[in-house]
C-alpha cells in the first residue's frame, strides 16, 4: 500500500520562518489562508482590488497586490482559476521568483501542460486537497480535514518535500491522510475524476434518470427527489462506509436492484467511453480545447451553461429547494464547482 502521511509523521517547523503568500482568495484561497494562519503560519494574501480583496481584509489578512505579496514571500501558493494563472504568473509572480523561493499549486494543470514553466532555481510543489475549498475550511474548523496529495516537481533546496508536507499539515489534510504523487498523476486523475465520475458522470446520470421518469409521465417533483435530492443521502453512506456501507443501509430490494440493474446502465461501452475521456486528458487534447475556449472568451461554455440552467430538473429543483430552508445554500462556487 502507498505510504500515507498523518500529522505525527510531519514536522511543521520547516514553515516556521517562512512567509507564505496565498495568491487568490476564492474557494481554495480562503481556506488555505485561514487554516494556515490558525496553524501558526505567517500568511499574506495576494490579489487585485475587488470582492476577494475586501473579503480577505475583512477576515483580518494583510492583503497586497500579487506582485508585492510575491516579492515579500518565501513560499508562493497560486490559487487562482487555472485558466487565468499563466497571465498573472508571467506578469506579477515570475519577476519576483528569486532563487531558493518555493512556488506551489493546488492542481498541476498549468505546469503539467506546459503553460507555466518555472525557473530552475526555485522549489516547485503541489499541495492539493481532494475536496472543495469550502469543505477544506469547514472540516478544519471541526477538527477534521480533507485528504490531500503532494507532489514535488523541482527540489533545489533539498527541503521541498518537507515543506510540501508541512503545508499539507497546515491546511488540515494530514488529519485525513496525505499521499505523494506526481504532477502528471494528480493532473490526469483530477481531470478524469471530475469529468467521468464526480461532476460530468454524475450530472449526466442524474439528468438521464430524471428525463426517463418524466418522459414516462411521472411527476417532475417526484423524479427530482428520487434522482437528485436523495443522491446526497446515498453518497453520505458511501463516504462513511464505502459501497458495502451504503448497501448495508439500503433495503435488500434496493441492493438486488443495484446488482442487477447498475451494470445494465453503466455498461462495458460506458467504460470504453471513459477510456476515451482519459485518452483526451493524457494526450493534452482536453487541455488544449479548454485553453483555446478561454482565449475565445468561452463561446461554448457560455452557451451550454445557459441551456443547462433551463433544464426542467433545475426549474423544478429551484422551486422545491425554496421550500426546504434546511437544505443550506452553500456559496455558489461550492455548488457549481463541486469537486474541482
Ligand atoms: P476560485 O475561482 O474560487 O478563486 C479565484 C480567486 O482568484 C478569487 O479570489 C479571484 O479574485 C482571484 N483572481 C482571479 N483572477 C485574478 C487576477 N487576475 N489577479 C488576482 N486575483 C485574481 O478558484 P479555485 O479556488 O476554485 O481554484 C484555485 C486553484 O485550486 C485551481 O488551481 C484549482 O484547480 C485548484 N483546486 C480547486 C478546488 C476547489 O475546490 N475549487 C479543489 C482542488 C484544487 P476576484 O474576487 O478579484 O475575482
Ligand atoms: Mg479534484
Ligand atoms: Mg479539478
Tens digit of each residue's pLDDT (9 = 90 or more) over 224-247 = 999 999 999 999 999 999 999 999
| Residues sharing a CB contact under 8 Å with residue 164, sequence separation 6 or more, in sequence order | 104, 125, 126, 127, 150, 151, 152
pLDDT digits (tens, 9 = 90+) for 161-175: 999 999 999 999 999
Q: Check whether 55 is labelled as a binding-site residue.
A: no
* Entry field: residues in the chain: 340
What pLDDT is attached to residue 338?
38
DSSP letter for 53, please.
Answer: H
What pLDDT is attached to residue 216?
98
Ligand 2 center to 265 CA (angstroms): 25
The separation between CA 236 and the C-alpha centre of its own chain, rounded to angstroms, equals 18
Radius of gyration, alpha carbons of the chain: 22
What pLDDT is attached to residue 325?
87
β-pairing, 42-47 with 4-5? unpaired
What pLDDT is attached to residue 339?
38
Query: Which ligand 1 atom is nearest residue 110's CA?
Result: 32
Helix axes 27-38, 51-58, angle to 10 degrees: 20
Residues in the chain predicted with pLDDT less than 70, given as ranges, are 329-340
β-pairing, 19-23 with 42-47? parallel
Q: Give all domains of the chain, ordered by start, each with its CATH number.
A: 4-181 (3.40.50.720), 193-337 (no CATH)
What pLDDT is attached to residue 80?
98
What pLDDT is attached to residue 328?
73
Ligand 2 center to 322 CA (angstroms): 29
What pLDDT is attached to residue 37?
98
β-pairing, 102-105 with 123-129? parallel
Catalytic residues: 107
ipTM of the complex: 0.98
CB-defined site of ligand 1, < 6 Å:
24-29, 47-48, 50-52, 66, 79-82, 84, 88, 106-107, 128-129, 132-133, 333, 337, 340
DSSP letter for 143, please.
Answer: T
Largest CA distance in the chain: 66
Helix (H, G, I), strand (E, B) or coil at 47: strand
Q: What cell was used for 194?
A: 471530475
Q: What cell was used for 88?
A: 498573472
What pLDDT is attached to residue 72?
98
Angstrom distances, CA of residue 171 to CA of 24, 37, 136: 15, 9, 7
Query: Which ligand 1 atom is nearest residue 49's CA?
Result: 47
Amino acid at each position: 500500500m502507498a505510504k500515507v502521511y498523518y500529522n505525527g509523521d510531519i514536522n511543521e517547523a520547516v514553515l516556521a520562518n517562512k512567509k507564505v503568500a496565498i495568491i487568490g482568495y476564492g474557494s481554495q484561497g480562503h481556506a488555505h489562508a485561514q487554516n494556515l494562519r490558525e496553524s501558526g503560519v505567517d500568511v499574506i494574501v495576494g490579489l487585485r482590488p475587488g470582492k476577494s480583496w475586501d473579503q480577505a481584509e475583512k477576515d483580518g489578512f494583510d492583503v497586497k497586490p500579487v506582485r508585492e505579496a510575491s516579492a515579500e514571500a518565501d513560499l508562493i501558493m497560486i490559487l487562482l482559476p487555472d485558466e487565468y494563472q499563466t497571465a498573472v504568473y508571467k506578469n506579477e509572480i515570475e519577476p519576483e521568483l528569486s532563487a531558493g523561493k518555493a512556488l506551489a499549486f493546488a492542481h498541476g494543470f498549468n505546469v503539467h501542460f506546459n503553460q507555466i514553466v518555472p525557473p530552475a532555481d526555485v522549489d516547485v510543489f503541489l499541495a492539493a486537497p481532494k475536496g472543495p475549498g469550502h469543505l477544506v475550511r469547514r472540516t478544519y474548523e471541526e477538527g477534521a480535514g480533507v485528504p490531500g496529495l503532494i507532489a514535488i516537481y523541482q527540489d533545489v533546496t533539498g527541503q521541498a518535500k518537507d515543506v510540501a508536507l508541512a503545508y499539507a499539515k497546515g491546511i488540515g489534510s494530514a488529519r485525513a491522510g496525505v499521499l505523494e504523487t506526481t504532477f502528471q498523476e494528480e493532473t490526469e486523475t483530477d481531470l478524469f475524476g471530475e469529468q467521468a465520475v464526480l461532476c460530468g458522470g454524475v450530472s449526466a446520470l442524474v439528468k438521464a434518470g430524471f428525463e426517463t421518469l418524466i418522459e414516462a409521465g411521472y411527476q417532475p417533483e417526484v423524479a427530482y427527489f428520487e434522482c437528485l435530492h436523495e443522491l446526497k443521502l446515498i453518497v453520505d453512506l458511501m463516504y462513511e462506509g464505502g459501497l458495502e456501507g451504503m448497501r448495508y443501509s439500503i433495503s435488500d430490494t434496493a441492493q438486488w436492484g443495484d446488482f442487477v440493474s447498475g451494470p445494465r446502465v453503466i455498461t462495458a461501452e460506458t467504460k470504453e467511453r471513459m477510456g476515451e475521456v482519459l485518452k483526451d486528458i493524457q494526450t493534452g487534447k482536453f487541455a488544449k480545447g479548454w485553453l483555446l475556449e478561454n482565449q475565445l472568451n468561452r463561446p461554448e461554455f457560455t452557451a451550454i451553461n445557459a441551456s443547462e440552467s433551463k433544464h426542467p430538473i433545475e426549474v423544478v429543483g429551484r422551486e422545491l429547494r425554496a421550500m426546504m430552508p434546511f437544505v443550506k445554500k452553500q456559496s455558489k462556487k461550492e455548488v457549481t464547482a463541486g469537486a474541482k
